[in-house]
Amino acid sequence: MQRGRWVKVAELGELPKGSMTCVEADGAPIAIYHLQDGSLWATEAVCSHQYALLTDGILEDDLVECPLHAAQFNVKTGKALSEPAEIDLKTYEVRLDGMDILLKV
């Protein structure tokens, strides 16, 4: 049985397809991604290489690029795909309940 609780972090109308936002859940910055296909994904919002908010970077398809040193991550898996990042991002479960975006923390 998986533990955790679902918390509302945003509303779908605030996050158009192809965009991302940084929210706070349990005191941690979390990046929420709304991909062009309509799917929602969530990772840590801070680059694993050096402190920079990934939501200040570029989202293209299912990749996010860090604004500081251009490290790229897969938003679905958290996998670090390019240097200088070598550590994967933590991912979070995210779901839609009506128009509410919920995150499992």
pLDDT of 64 above 60:
yes
> Which has the higher per-residue pLDDT, 60 or 27?
60
Report the pLDDT value the prediction gives residue 1, as an integer from 0 to 100: 45
Res. 2 pLDDT band, cuts 50 70 90: low
Q: What is the distance between the alpha carbons of residues 95 and 72, in angstroms, rounded to a whole number? A: 24
Res. 44 pLDDT band, cuts 50 70 90: very high
3-class DSSP string for 64-85: EECCCCCCEEECCCCCECCCCC
Domains of the chain: 6-104 (2.102.10.10)
pLDDT of 84 above 60:
yes
User: What average pLDDT does the structure give for the chain?
Assistant: 95
